[in-house]
Amino acid sequence: MKTFILGRTKKEVERLVPEGQIKTVRLGNTKICMSRIADNYFAFEQACPHRKADLGKGTINKFKEVICPLHEYRFDLETGRCNQANCSDLKIFKTEISEEGLKIYMPN
């Protein structure tokens, strides 16, 4: 497992990942999306598993779901579960916020 750190302080991470928005970041050779709801940070794959649409152009709803901009499939930000029957679940990555920044854990 690889660990990446975004930002150097908790306040810096809050500025980098605005609440309720989606931010695309590159970690090593991989682009992922980040979002924040209150003090909860979410990291997930950038491409929708259905038709590979850019989830960075999607939206976040009040149910803690990312909505794909192409077909409006919804994915739970905590589990990655797709709420439509015809799509694989979204890959999500564990995050951990501290005073030293946001740790993002990615598989090798």
Q: Read off the pTM.
A: 0.94
Tens-digit pLDDT profile for residues 50-69: 999 999 999 999 999 999 99
What's the 3-state SS for 1-26? CEEEEECCCHHHHHHHCCECCEEEEE
CA 24 vs. chain centroid, Å, equals: 8
Here the CATH number for the domain that contains residue 79 is 2.102.10.10
> In which domain, by residue range, is 13 found?
2-106
φ/ψ of residue 12, rounded to 5: -65, -40
What's the total number of domains in the chain? Answer: 1
Q: Examine the pLDDT at 85 and tell me if it is beyond 80.
A: no
Query: For residue 82, what is the DSSP state?
Result: B
Q: How far is CA 28 from CA 2, 70, 91, in A?
A: 10, 27, 17
Give percent of the chain with pLDDT exceeding 70.
100
